[in-house]
Structure 1
Amino acid sequence: MRSSRFLIATLKETPADAEVISHQLMLRAGMIRKLASGLYTWLPLGLRVLRKVENIVRTEMNKSGAQEVLMPVVQPAELWEESGRWQQYGPE
């Protein structure tokens, strides 16, 4: 696919809250966008990179006989209460 057909929203400036260099680079390259505190949206370029890395890791893990697991996204409220995020985000 031609790069001219990709949605690549690059940034000239590094966001102030991005401290880790990999985080800064992914934001500036248009791979991810911050949605909320700790939540990010994968943009087309970043998702493509993520899928390629997943396939490489999956191939190597399969060669070694490893098994893959998928864990739930929904978590018990107790975990959120313990970290203080339950009060921060509030009810649904």
Structure 2
Amino acid sequence: MRLSRYFLPILKENPREAEIVSHRLMLRAGMIRQQGQGSFSWLPLGKRVLDKVCQIIREEQNRAGALEILMPTIQSADLWRESGRYDDYGKEMLRIKDRQDRDMLYGPTNEEMVTEIFRAYVKS
């Protein structure tokens, strides 16, 4: 693709809200666009870089014989209560109810989910 037809919204000035050097550089290079506090859109150049990093990581994992899994971001609050970490995150953790009125949350990490998967399937 010709550069003249490539969507690359670069910035000439340092964004005021960007304090970290890498954040500033990614914004200025047109890799990301900040949508809100902690929320970013990956623009075409940034998405290409992100995909390349993921490809390198995947190649190294394959070389090491690792397996990849994908877990849901919405998780049962019961798992978090069982681990004792449900209240540790405080009010910042996004908590919701599903259609059956069960407590769910937006999982900030996946330790509880991995533990549940292995508990269900791995027997020693």
Class of the TM-score when normalised by the shorter of the 2 chains: 0.7 to 0.9
Detail structure 1 runs of 4+ shifted over 2 Å in the superposition. Answer: 1-5, 69-79, 83-86
Change (3 A) 1:47 1:60: same
Distance 2:24 2:93 in 1: 24
Q: How much has 1:25 moved relative to structure 2?
A: 0.4
Q: Does 1:33 align with 2:41?
A: no
Q: How much has 1:85 moved relative to structure 2?
A: 6.8
Distance 1:25 1:41 in 2: 15
Structure with the bigger percentage of strand:
2
Contact 1:6 1:45 in 2 (8 A): no
Distance 1:73 1:59 in 2: 24
Q: Does 1:61 align with 2:69?
A: no
> Which protein has greater RCO, CA pairs closer than 8 Å, 6+ apart?
1
| Secondary structure of 2:34 counterpart | strand
Name the Cα RMSD after superposition.
2.3
| Secondary structure of 1:51 counterpart | helix
- Mean Cα displacement is larger for which, 52-61 or 63-72? 63-72
Give the TM-score of the pair, scaled to structure 2: 0.58
Asked which structure has the greater CA Rg, the reply is: 2
Kindly, what percent of the aligned residue pairs are identical? 52
Change (3 A) 1:66 1:30: same
Q: How much has 1:34 moved relative to structure 2?
A: 0.4
Give the TM-score of the pair, scaled to structure 1: 0.76
Distance 1:44 1:75 in 2: 30
Gaps of 5+ in 2: 78-85, 95-124
Mapping of residues 5-84 of structure 1, within 5 Å: 5-74=5-74, 82-84=90-92
- State how many pairs are aligned: 85
